[in-house]
DNA sequence: CTAAGAATATTTTTT
DNA sequence: ATATTCTTAG
């Protein structure tokens, strides 16, 4: 198929989505497009890393890859022609600023570029948890100043919620607020006549019923002393009183009065809704203001903040056309992965870019737009993902959608099982096909009262069959279940790798220490109770101390109650970074560190959501250990496609009285049911060889699928294959084994606060990267190239400074001796889930030397850690000796630091 | 056997 | 908020 500029793939699970993305991207390169003009966006760092890795691997081994033929076809060239240009394309690709990232990072980059237009500093940090306490303080302050305290109190009373719940709701609405009409309820009046009318009618009904001389039960039931009690009556929500104990004395007039009560109650609910939103939006506006002020003050933004700011900047400000123009000049091809998870806001930001591409004018001549996704795998509605966008956008831009129907991942038995399970359940489900060479496979559905017990039996039988632990993945519904599974399997002596999001501060033992520290600081009993509950003691066993130093206090506490474990020890280390106890108690919840990994190898445990986009040889999907949670959201959002239509205030039983509300509620229920089905689809399509479903009888997560215990196919016993070959290939670092470990230990961010210094460092690196050899002649050419690229953003004299520092490097005797060997620049390695780039890797016989250039010594400790990790990775991968050096290119000359 | 009403248990997914 | 269980009256 020749190149189609506007194209989308509807890619079911395992149908080669990444393959097609890679083919698309590489085809553009082979057609001569500049890598800098191609932007490929995904939703997770994992996916972005994998895509990048896949591109490099494909380019490196193009002659033996399936992508070759596909690329040749798209480019309308012969495979030989493609191969002849391979090394040139690879070089060009690696040397450019590759724009493969998550959509959030992409927006982050845009915001950094235009930060000053948005009124913030380009050096802003991104954070997941903002200063809760400070924000609350600021918000309450705003509320008071605006004279909205009454609204806040009223809201709390109206919804019978605590302030903290309200605060949570506000932060949810914050990310959605651009879709809302914040002034839409301003004119709601406060007068309430409906209650009186309902009560009057209720009294009338009461006399009517009492006059019939019915049973005590009937007489008691009809009595409603107050409006609140009236709302609790079951008969209020019945279509007629011609039932139960009222049946005996029923006459049609009773239903007429009942209808009047119901109409009045319905009006009351409407009024309550209007009032609620009026107050809520008044307060929300103040919340939004507080968030903005906090963001600017702390120079710290969340993902939501970034998206909202970029949206304001590009879609609402006057100069937005100019800004888009500046963006556009670099962007010609847009590739979007997992499109079904895009939010309305995200797409609204991208839309003008796509429109610009479609116009085909100027630099955009020959531009393209490509997206892949699968609405069946849309599981992020709760985060703003709107799957309806997929078809809506395709229609709007007149994009041809190509379905990918063949499953190249799972064995046929699994594919058939999935087809059976979801056919007729997911609307418009088309069965997947299975290629002949993938016949076989095994599926088992087991029903059990003791899920964990059945799980360990299943694991044991797999291991018995010769399956390696790292080929098994256990998928759970919740993170909590994941922890339970981890504990259970560890106790049985299995090695496990958890990838559930386990923040250090949410570990049991760590929580106990935090509650203790808070108790010491605040002297409020609640912390004492919390702490005691966490370590299983009675509150009077917890003593309060005046703590001079939180670290010492924590250690003493841990010793006294013997709660030391890996997490707590790591936490104590983290505590050392805090100034004093006060800082700890207020800031500790923002600590982003993850709890330490159990082991590097073993059975993988993760949530279904985390497993999206991954595949495993043997998958065990475990039913929910607890009961499913009912939704708690006080607001019902009514969507029509991707368009938010209306909000409703959730009131129990309101649907019986209010048909519009009932409709919205039904839509919401349907959407939730779809979410569940989609999550199930994701869960059951991760397996390659065998799939094991462990369900329970009551309140099962699998209930919508109506599964019954059975098994299909046969589990083939495999001879253990030698796994060492991958490691022995020199100079190809596909660190599969290390790559398994996802990003729980993420590389420390380089916290640099000086924008000019960052640019200077980048230019310096770029110069070194561009040098084909370490000679003065090569340096001249590299400097030229760096000047073209960074000249405009650097301060005067910076290029000369770079020249002098690089010159002292190539004249440095230590450098000359370290480089005397086979060397590689910009060597990418995948280590612990993130891709790292080693500036210079030199091989001296059977020893390796790692050199990392730095332009300043301010963060030497971090640099040492970073190089230390490279050394560890290279040593582990090659099985040979490795040493690392930090090469500081300082104004006064080169300084070396050896890292172990 | 039926329905109301009280009491009780349980309670996500994440860039 | 919701599902389940139990008690009670008819």
Give nearest nucleotide to A229 (CA–C1'): B5
pLDDT-based confidence at residue A728 (cuts at 50, 70, 90): very low
CA–CA gap between residue A76 and residue A27 (Å, rounded): 10
CA–CA gap between residue A531 and residue A514 (Å, rounded): 8
Residue A253 CA and nucleotide C4 C1' are separated, in Å, by 36
pLDDT of residue A732: 29
Name residues 602-621 of chain A with a Cβ under 7 Å from nucleic strand B: 607, 609-610
Residue A879 CA and nucleotide B12 C1' are separated, in Å, by 43
Give nearest nucleotide to A632 (CA–C1'): C1
Whether residue A751 has pLDDT greater than 60: no
CA–CA gap between residue A516 and residue A683 (Å, rounded): 40
Residue A854 CA and nucleotide B14 C1' are separated, in Å, by 34
Select from A669, A667, A665, A646 the least CA-distant residue to A655.
A665
Q: Which residue has the higher pLDDT, A617 or A109?
A: A617
Q: Is the CB of A102 under 7 A from strand B?
A: yes
pLDDT of residue A23: 95
CA–CA gap between residue A460 and residue A452 (Å, rounded): 12
CA–CA gap between residue A51 and residue A43 (Å, rounded): 12
To the nearest 10 degrees (0 to 180), the angle between helices A303-311 and A163-176 is: 40
A321-359 tens-digit pLDDT:
666 666 656 788 999 999 999 999 999 999 988 888 888
Count other C-beta atoms under 10 Å from residue A816's C-beta: 12
Q: Which residue has the higher pLDDT, A508 or A371?
A: A371
Smallest CA–C1' distance to B3, residue: A244
Residue A423 CA and nucleotide C5 C1' are separated, in Å, by 36
Residue A227 CA and nucleotide B14 C1' are separated, in Å, by 42
A148-185 tens-digit pLDDT:
888 888 887 776 667 777 888 898 899 999 999 888 88
Average pLDDT over residues A506-535: 84
A356-413 tens-digit pLDDT:
888 876 666 788 999 999 999 999 998 889 999 999 999 999 999 999 999 999 999 9
Whether residue A735 has pLDDT greater than 50: no
To the nearest 10 degrees (0 to 180), the angle between helices A163-176 and A149-158 is: 100
Average pLDDT over residues A753-781: 78
pLDDT of residue A711: 95
Q: Which residue has the higher pLDDT, A513 or A835?
A: A513
- Lowest-confidence segment of A319-328, A721-730, A891-900 by average pLDDT: A721-730
pLDDT-based confidence at residue A724 (cuts at 50, 70, 90): very low
Give nearest nucleotide to A235 (CA–C1'): B4
Residue A625 CA and nucleotide B9 C1' are separated, in Å, by 14
Question: Are residues A899 and A885 in contact, defined by beta-carbon separation less than 8 angstroms?
Answer: yes
Name residues 222-281 of chain A with a Cβ under 7 Å from nucleic strand B: 232-235, 238, 243-244
A641-668 tens-digit pLDDT:
888 889 998 888 888 888 899 899 888 8
Give nearest nucleotide to A217 (CA–C1'): C9
pLDDT of residue A749: 34
Chain B positions within 7 A of any protein Cβ atom are 3-6, 10-15
For residue A695, list its beta bridge partners.
A447
Average pLDDT over residues A758-779: 81
Structure tokens at A898: 């050896």
Report residue A619: phi and psi, to 5°.
-120, 130
Smallest CA–C1' distance to C8, residue: A217
Chain C positions within 7 A of any protein Cβ atom are 1-4, 9-10
Count other C-beta atoms under 10 Å from residue A501's C-beta: 15
Three-state DSSP class for residue A797: coil
A221-233 tens-digit pLDDT:
888 888 888 888 8
Give nearest nucleotide to A243 (CA–C1'): B3
Residue A401 CA and nucleotide C2 C1' are separated, in Å, by 41
A535-587 tens-digit pLDDT:
878 888 888 888 888 888 898 898 888 887 777 877 887 888 788 888 888 77
Residue A628 CA and nucleotide C2 C1' are separated, in Å, by 10
CA–CA gap between residue A679 and residue A37 (Å, rounded): 35
For residue A332, list its beta bridge partners.
none
- Find the helix or strand (DSSP H, E) in which A710 lies: strand A710-713
For residue A638, list its beta bridge partners.
A646
Give pTM, 2 decimals: 0.76
A828-881 tens-digit pLDDT:
665 554 456 788 888 888 888 999 888 888 778 878 888 888 888 788 777 788
pLDDT of residue A321: 65
Report how far apart, in Å, the C-alpha atoms of A189 and of each of A32, A183, A274 are.
64, 14, 8
Average pLDDT over residues A579-603: 74
- Lowest-confidence segment of A58-67, A477-486, A493-502, A631-640 by average pLDDT: A493-502
pLDDT of residue A318: 63
Question: Are residues A33 and A98 in contact, defined by beta-carbon separation less than 8 angstroms?
Answer: no
A408-428 tens-digit pLDDT:
999 999 999 999 999 988 888
pLDDT of residue A893: 85
Structure tokens at A258: 């009942």
Residue A205 CA and nucleotide C5 C1' are separated, in Å, by 32
Q: Which residue has the higher pLDDT, A792 or A221?
A: A221
Count other C-beta atoms under 10 Å from residue A656's C-beta: 16
CA–CA gap between residue A224 and residue A206 (Å, rounded): 8
Select from A693, A713, A628 the least CA-distant residue to A474.
A693
Three-state DSSP class for residue A275: helix
Average pLDDT over residues A757-785: 81
CA–CA gap between residue A667 and residue A664 (Å, rounded): 5
């Amino acid at each position: 198929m020749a190149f189609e500029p506007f194209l989308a793939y509807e890619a079911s699970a395992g149908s080669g989505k990444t393959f097609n993305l890679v083919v698309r991207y590489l085809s553009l390169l082979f057609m001569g497009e500049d890598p800098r003009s191609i932007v490929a966006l995904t939703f997770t760092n994992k996916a972005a890393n994998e895509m990048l890795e896949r591109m490099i691997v494909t380019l490196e081994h193009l002659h033996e890859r399936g992508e070759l033929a596909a690329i040749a076809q798209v480019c309308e060239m012969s495979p030989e022609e493609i191969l002849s240009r391979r090394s040139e394309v690879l070089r060009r690709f690696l040397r450019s600023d590759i724009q493969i990232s998550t959509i959030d990072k992409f927006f982050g980059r845009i915001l950094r570029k235009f930060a000053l237009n948005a009124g913030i500093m380009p050096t802003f940090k991104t954070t997941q948890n903002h200063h809760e306490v400070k924000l609350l303080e600021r918000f309450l302050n705003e509320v008071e100043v605006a004279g909205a305290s009454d609204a806040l109190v009223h809201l709390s009373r109206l919804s019978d919620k605590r302030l903290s719940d309200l605060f949570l709701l506000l932060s949810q609405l914050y990310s959605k607020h651009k879709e809302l009409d914040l002034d839409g309820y301003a004119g709601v009046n406060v007068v309430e006549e409906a209650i009186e009318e309902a009560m009057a009618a209720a009294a009338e009904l009461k006399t009517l019923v009492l006059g019939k001389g019915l049973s005590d039960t009937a007489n008691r039931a009809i009595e409603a002393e107050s409006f609140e009690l009236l709302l609790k009556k079951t008969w209020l929500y019945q279509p007629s009183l011609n039932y139960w104990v009222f049946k005996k004395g029923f006459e049609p007039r009773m239903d007429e009065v009942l209808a009047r009560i119901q109409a009045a109650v319905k009006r009351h609910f409407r009024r309550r809704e209007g009032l609620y939103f009026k107050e809520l939006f008044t307060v929300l506006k103040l919340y939004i203001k507080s968030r903005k002020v906090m963001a600017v003050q702390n120079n710290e933004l969340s993902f939501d903040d970034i998206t909202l700011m970029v949206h304001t900047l590009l879609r609402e400000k006057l100069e937005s056309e100019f800004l888009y123009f500046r963006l556009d000049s670099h962007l010609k091809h847009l590739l979007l992965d997992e499109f079904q998870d895009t939010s309305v806001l995200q797409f609204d930001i991208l839309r003008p870019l796509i429109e610009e591409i479609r116009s085909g004018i100027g630099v955009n001549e020959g531009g393209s737009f490509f997206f892949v996704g699968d609405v069946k795998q849309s599981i992020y509605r709760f985060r703003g993902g709107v799957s309806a966008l997929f078809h809506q956008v395709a229609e709007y831009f007149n994009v041809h959608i190509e379905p990918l129907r063949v499953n190249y991942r799972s064995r046929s038995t699994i594919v058939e099982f999935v087809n059976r399970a979801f056919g007729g359940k997911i609307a418009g489900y088309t069965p997947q096909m299975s290629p002949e060479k993938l016949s076989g496979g095994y599926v088992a559905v087991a029903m059990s009262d003791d899920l964990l017990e059945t799980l360990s039996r299943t694991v044991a039988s797999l291991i018995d069959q010769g399956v390696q632990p790292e080929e098994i993945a256990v998928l759970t519904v919740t993170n909590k279940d994941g922890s339970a599974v981890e504990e259970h399997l560890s106790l049985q002596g299995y090695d496990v790798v958890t990838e559930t999001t386990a923040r250090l501060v949410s570990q049991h033992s760590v929580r106990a220490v935090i509650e203790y520290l808070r108790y010491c600081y605040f002297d409020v009993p609640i912390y004492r109770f919390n702490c005691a509950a966490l370590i299983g003691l009675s509150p009077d066993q917890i003593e309060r101390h005046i703590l001079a130093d939180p670290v010492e206090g924590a250690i003493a506490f841990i010793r006294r109650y013997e709660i030391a474990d890996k997490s707590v020890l790591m936490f104590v280390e983290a505590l050392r970074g805090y100034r004093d106890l006060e800082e700890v108690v207020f800031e500790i919840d923002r600590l982003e560190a993850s709890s330490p990994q159990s082991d590097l190898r073993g059975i993988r445990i993760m949530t279904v959501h985390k497993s999206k986009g991954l595949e495993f040889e043997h998958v065990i999907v475990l039913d929910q250990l607890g009961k499913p949670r009912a939704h708690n959201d006080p607001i019902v959002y009514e969507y029509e496609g991707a368009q938010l239509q209306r909000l409703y205030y959730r009131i129990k039983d309101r649907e019986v009285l209010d048909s519009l509300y009932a409709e919205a509620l039904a839509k919401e229920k349907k959407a939730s049911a779809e979410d569940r089905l989609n999550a199930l689809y994701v869960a059951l399509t991760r397996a390659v060889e065998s799939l094991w479903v462990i369900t329970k009888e009551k309140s099962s997560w699998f209930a919508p699928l109506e599964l019954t215990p059975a098994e299909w196919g046969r589990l083939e016993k495999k001879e253990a294959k030698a796994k060492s070959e991958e490691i022995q290939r020199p100079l190809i670092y596909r660190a599969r084994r290390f790559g398994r470990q996802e990003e729980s230990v993420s590389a420390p961010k380089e916290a640099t606060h000086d924008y000019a210094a960052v640019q200077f460092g980048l230019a310096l690196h770029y110069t070194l990267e561009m040098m084909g050899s370490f000679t003065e002649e090569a340096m001249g050419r590299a400097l030229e190239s760096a000047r073209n690229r960074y000249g405009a953003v650097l301060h005067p004299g910076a290029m000369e400074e770079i020249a002098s520092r690089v010159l002292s490097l190539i004249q440095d005797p230590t450098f000359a001796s370290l480089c005397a060997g086979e060397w590689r620049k910009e060597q990418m390695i995948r280590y612990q889930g993130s891709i790292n780039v080693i500036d210079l890797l030199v091989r001296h016989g059977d020893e390796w030397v790692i050199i990392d250039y730095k332009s300043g010594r301010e963060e030497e400790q971090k640099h040492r850690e970073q190089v230390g990790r490279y050394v560890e990775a290279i040593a582990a991968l090659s099985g040979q000796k490795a040493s690392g050096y930090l090469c500081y290119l300082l104004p006064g000359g080169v300084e070396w630091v050896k890292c172990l």
